[in-house]
Structure 1
Amino acid sequence: MGNITMGNISGNIQRKINTLKKRNHSNRGAKPINALLIVDVQYDFIDGTLALKDCPSHHQGEQVIPIINKLLNDIHFDIIVYTQDWHTPDHISFHENLPLRAHLLAKDSKKVDELKVFDTAIFLLDDEAKTKKLRVEQILWPTHCVQHSHGAELHKDLHIVKPNKHRQVVNLFKGNDSDIDSYSAFWDNQKIRETALNTKLKEHNVTNVFIAGIATDVCVYSTALHAVEYGYRTFIVEDACRGVDVTNINLRLDELIKRNCVIVQANEIKDII
């Protein structure tokens, strides 16, 4: 791993809480049904337009791949989910598309010529029934993971397993509504539209959800929040994740622990499942 700061859990108290929860989560008696969610291991986040190495963390996104592959080879998961950001060319999250929605900026938002990449714009968008306006705060990212582009593909070195009678495999595409971003694999950012993920997990009676991938403080974090909300025993595989900003990674991990999510390392999973 070199000298890269991963964004480990901050504070002795939080570490103790996490250890206690880990023990509790791994001793429930009934045979668990385990899902591995592999979040957004796509070219654009590794060496493309939104590569983590160019973000404040300077993380190397490709480092998650051998760890995830080892999990896939060494541990039986009952269901494996590969998620992909899958944006339309005119997506609201792209800084270059800002002029398309300049007329939708809220009065208290920065103006088009003031907003830079990674700034937050505030839009007023119609709700589903077009009866009221939704206030949408949107981080403006570089264009990334455009549908059917090379950057949106899963990295070639990531092991793509085949389904069999003992293991289900799901490919989940998110963020494909041009006006609403979707960090979580369960919901869009406004929690208006739900993906099929929870239904799939419930169909297979999943109890434990392990989450790995990119980015710890964005899509991994959001997915974990919703997994906890749905009542799954939720685990972040910390060494199989990389993120955007180390400070935010620490804050997000601490918040997840408080919400009853457990932070584990890949080599601990066998003892849990």
Structure 2
Amino acid sequence: MSLPPLAVRPTDVLVVIDPQVDFCPGGALAVAGGDEIMPLVNEIARRFEHVVITQDWHPRDQISFASNHPGAEPFSVVEVAYGPQTLWPDHCVQGTPGAGLHPALDIPHAELILRKGYNPGVDSYSAFFENDKATATGLSGYLRQRGFERCVFVGLALDFCVRYSAQDAIAEGFEAVVIPEACRAIDLDGSAAATFAAFERHGVVLAAP
């Protein structure tokens, strides 16, 4: 797709979603080509004065792990208290190497690393809300107090954590831009196409780096 190039504004914040070892080839929940985006993410980040990084940070008894549902297979869907939940291989477990930021990531001026998914009873895709759509991470308040108006999203995975972060940014009153070239998708049962359709519905803007 041909997209307009991103013009960075003073009130922008770059939000780098889950650039972690477990989401890259060789990791527990590898996204194809996940490691390939890191040089571009670094390059984009150098154009931003303000950067936030999110980090999946799961306890071993996380409700979204298939291993915690006897007989369930990874990538199946179960009904939990807050609705349908996709089950994943154990990944980004607190304190493990896989939960670490990818070694090729080089953004020393990042101002905030926000950990999410640490509640064992609720998974968290979005940087703004856990999957119950009610429990806030506090990111909205942080961004408002800092005076940011637009969130620019890159990272992993496009069709889950990037998607819901961008949608929630719009819902919270921020503008949202996604740079697809600096993302990679899992594409589970057509989730990549569904993501682009959702971006159009919600008013998420797509841009080239």
Question: TM-score scaled to structure 1, two decimals?
Answer: 0.71
Provide the secondary structure at the position in 2 that maps to 1:36.
strand
Counterpart of 1:159? 106
Stretches of 4+ moved more than 6 A in 1? none
Q: Does 1:148 align with 2:148?
A: no
What is the CA–CA distance in structure 1 between the aligned matches of 2:107 and 2:207, rounded to whole Å? Answer: 23
What is the CA–CA distance in structure 2 between the aligned matches of 1:248 and 1:69, rounded to whole Å? Answer: 26
Structure 2: runs of 5+ lacking an equivalent: none
Structure ranking higher in helix proportion? 1
Pairing of 1:107-256 with structure 2 (within 5 A): 113=71, 115-123=72-80, 134-162=81-109, 169-245=111-187, 247-256=190-199
Counterpart of 1:76? 48
Q: Which amino acid aligns with 1:70?
A: E
Provide the secondary structure at the position in 2 that maps to 1:186.
coil
Counterpart of 1:127? none
What is the CA–CA distance in structure 2 between the aligned matches of 1:96 and 1:260, rounded to whole Å? Answer: 37
Counterpart of 2:61? 90
Q: Which amino acid aligns with 1:64?
A: I
Q: Which amino acid aligns with 2:68?
A: N
What is the CA–CA distance in structure 2 between the aligned matches of 1:203 and 1:45, rounded to whole Å? Answer: 31
- Residues 197 and 66 of structure 1: CA distance in aligned 2, closer, same or farther (over 3 Å): same
What is the CA–CA distance in structure 2 between the aligned matches of 1:135 and 1:222, rounded to whole Å? Answer: 16
- Residues 237 and 90 of structure 1: CA distance in aligned 2, closer, same or farther (over 3 Å): same
User: CA offsets, 1:95-138, max 9 Å, x none?
Assistant: 11114xxxxxxxxxxxxx3x311000113xxxxxxxxxx34321
Give the total of aligned pairs: 206
1:226, CA displacement in angstroms?
A: 0.4
Is the 1:32–1:208 contact (alpha carbons within 8 Å) kept by the matching residues of 2? no
249-258 or 42-51, which moves further after superposition?
A: 249-258
What is the CA–CA distance in structure 1 between the aligned matches of 2:93 and 2:186, rounded to whole Å? Answer: 20
1:172, CA displacement in angstroms?
A: 0.2
178-187 or 225-234, which moves further after superposition?
A: 225-234
Is the 2:51–2:109 contact (alpha carbons within 8 Å) kept by the matching residues of 1? no
Counterpart of 1:35? 13
Provide the secondary structure at the position in 2 that maps to 1:220.
helix
What is the CA–CA distance in structure 2 between the aligned matches of 1:136 and 1:254, rounded to whole Å? Answer: 22
What is the CA–CA distance in structure 2 between the aligned matches of 1:33 and 1:234, rounded to whole Å? Answer: 12
User: CA offsets, 1:173-200, max 9 Å, x none?
Assistant: 0000001000000000012310121111
Correspondence for 1:260 among 180, 203, 208: 203
Provide the secondary structure at the position in 2 that maps to 1:70.
helix
What is the CA–CA distance in structure 2 between the aligned matches of 1:118 and 1:43, rounded to whole Å? Answer: 19
Q: Which amino acid aligns with 1:43?
A: V
- Residues 135 and 66 of structure 1: CA distance in aligned 2, closer, same or farther (over 3 Å): closer
User: CA offsets, 1:33-73, max 9 Å, x none?
Assistant: 01000000100010211001xxxxxx210111011111122
Give the structure with higher Rg (CA). 1
Percent identical pairs in the alignment equals: 32
Q: Which amino acid aligns with 2:52?
A: V
1:32, CA displacement in angstroms?
A: 4.5
- Residues 211 and 122 of structure 1: CA distance in aligned 2, closer, same or farther (over 3 Å): same
Structure 1: runs of 5+ lacking an equivalent: 1-7, 9-14, 53-58, 100-112, 124-133, 164-168, 267-273
Superposed CA RMSD: 2.0
1:162, CA displacement in angstroms?
A: 2.8
